[in-house]
Amino acid sequence: MKEKFLRALGLYAYFFRIGWFTFGGGWSIVAQMQTDFVEKDHTIDNQELLDIVSVGRSLPGTMIGNVAYLFGCHQCGVLGGVLSVLGIITPPLIILSIVTLFYHSFQNNLYVARALTGVRAVVAPVIFSAVLKLQKAETPLPKYAFYGLCAAGCILSFVFHASSILVVVAGVLCGVLYHGKQSRKNRS
């Protein structure tokens, strides 16, 4: 029991540390989780991270809260999930409290604006470097089908502005068809 509590506290500490760098709608956190958990610690693999992100993104609420909860829960039960969420939201809560108090001076500060222009310029590269590694997730699908589905997801969301939940549901439908095909293959 005590050991579990300490592990959950460790999750709080980890998410508190990376919560200061939540940019690009939380996608930079997914990039950090990829390097820390998949590459360094091997606690989860690319597939599991993608599962967590797909589920977290398609449920209502804040994506990064959902992702933190699902990861924490997977590692250390409900307590781990709750503490992970609290960890990831503490830094934005502190920062926004300060910003709200100094709203007007913050809004007109040239250096703040410049620093944030710089930060915004590297958010896309941060997510890009993570997606390159996520694409290496093992899959039983043939290459053309895997990249075809990637392209379809990208076109649906970027060109047709379909909401993420619609895109994930489309992926689920493809999965049902794929399941039907596989079970027919196994039967014959």
Partner 1 sequence: MITTILQLFWSFLQIGFTSFGGLSMIPLINSEMLGHGWMTATEVSDIVAIAEMTPGPLGLNCATFAGIRVAGIPGALAANFGMLMPTFTICAVAAVFFERFRDSAVLGHIMTTVRPVCIGLIWGVILSLCLENYTVGGAVSFRSILAGVLGLYLLIFRKCSVPKVICAAAVFGILFCPGQ
Instruction: Write down the least CB distance from residue 108 to partner 1, Å.
Output: 10
Q: Which of residues 12-31 bind partner 1 (CB under 8 A)?
A: 18-28, 30-31
Mapping DSSP to helix (H, G, I), strand (E, B) and coil, where does residue 158 land? helix
In angstroms, rounded to a whole number, what is the distance separating the alpha carbons of residues 168 and 153?
Answer: 8
Instruction: Write down the least CB distance from residue 2 to partner 1, Å.
Output: 23
Q: Which of residues 32-71 bind partner 1 (CB under 8 A)?
A: 32, 35, 47, 50-51, 53-66, 69-70
Residue 45, phi then psi, degrees to nearest 5: -110, 175
6 binds partner 1 (CB under 8 A): no
Residue count at the site for partner 1 (CB under 8 A)? 110
Which pair of tokens denotes residue 141?
Answer: 């699908």
172 binds partner 1 (CB under 8 A): yes
SS (H, E, C) 47-63: HHHHHHHHHHHHCCCCH
CA 170 centroid distance within chain = 19
Instruction: Write down the least CB distance from residue 23 to partner 1, Å.
Output: 6
Choice from 6, 102, 105, 141 touching partner 1 (CB under 8 A): 141
Residue closest to 58 by CA, chosen among 138, 146, 157:
157
Q: How many CB atoms lie within 10 A of CB 76?
A: 21
Contacts with partner 1, 83-102, as mask; x by CB under 8 A: --x---x-xxx-xxx-xxx-
149 binds partner 1 (CB under 8 A): yes
